[in-house]
A and B are shown apart, each in its own frame.
Chain A
Amino acid sequence: GENVEQHPSTLSVQEGDSAVIKCTYSDSASNYFPWYKQELGKGPQLIIDIRSNVGEKKDQRIAVTLNKTAKHFSLHITETQPEDSAVYFCAAPGSQGNLIFGKGTKLSVKP
């Protein structure tokens, strides 16, 4: 937590392609990494999360991978669809017990 870097800030893909968003964190003690999706005009919503005792977690077309040694984790979306277009945020625990969010990735899926 404390410092969470997210890349890229914007990502444009063709429908059906895969999309990957990467985040790095600074606190090696961090052990929980959620991903939130924010659709236009709405609040963020949790889509998947991973704890540090696993390296990968899948839920249908989305997956998250974690590399604790390198202190980075990634969101993978396969077979992208137009409804996947949104802003995606990664997050990690902060020192106050809160979540520190990355700066967001605006994903555009072109039909």
Chain B
Amino acid sequence: DTAVSQTPKYLVTQMGNDKSIKCEQNLGHDTMYWYKQDSKKFLKIMFSYNNKELIINETVPNRFSPKSPDKAHLNLHINSLELGDSAVYFCASSLGVGPYNEQFFGPGTRLTVL
């Protein structure tokens, strides 16, 4: 009965590899997000989707490509991984678009690039 789930929880990989993180929400929400949290705990939005459509795309390298097959899923694919990509990545969802909607976060995926 997990509301927002992410897989995998931990991901260790070599520089240059391509990897994906999956996110699913069973809350019936229309909006989903990807955040990056670095080692200092700074939480920064990367992307936001509403009903499978991209609505926010912060200045993220184009090596990062989100994909939303349906409104319950928002996956993150990362090409040519770099050391600086090491962080915890959080998926989140909200009922609607806009900052006034409570965001429900997943448990996070800790990505380590060696």
Cα–Cα distance between A49 and B99 once the two chains are bound (Å)? 11
- B64 → A minimal CB distance (Å): 16
Instruction: Please name all residues of chain A whose beta carbon is closer than 8 Å to the beta carbon of B44 when the two chains form the complex.
Output: 101
Contact-residue size bin, chain A (C-beta under 8 Å from the other chain): 20 to 34
Q: Which residues of A contact B104 (CB under 8 A)?
A: 45
Q: Determine whether the beta carbon of B99 is less than 8 Å from that of A97.
A: yes
Q: How many residues of B contact A (CB 8 A)?
A: 25
- By a CB distance below 8 angstroms, the chain A residues around B97 are 97
Which residues of A have CB within 8 Å of B43?
Answer: 44, 89, 101, 104
Main secondary structure of the interface of A (DSSP, over half): strand
Instruction: For the complex formed, measure the closest distance between the CB of A31 and the CB atoms of chain B, giving whole angstroms.
Output: 9
A104 lies within 8 A of B55 (CB): no
Interface string of A4-36 (1 = CB under 8 A from B): 000000000000000000000000000010101
In the complex, are the beta carbons of B103 and A94 less than 8 A apart? no
Selected A-B contacts with CB under 8 Å, 22 pairs: A32-B99, A36-B103, A38-B41, A41-B108, A42-B105, A44-B105, A46-B102, A46-B103, A49-B102, A87-B41, A91-B99, A92-B99, A93-B99, A96-B56, A97-B55, A97-B97, A98-B33, A99-B45, A99-B103, A101-B42, A103-B40, A104-B43
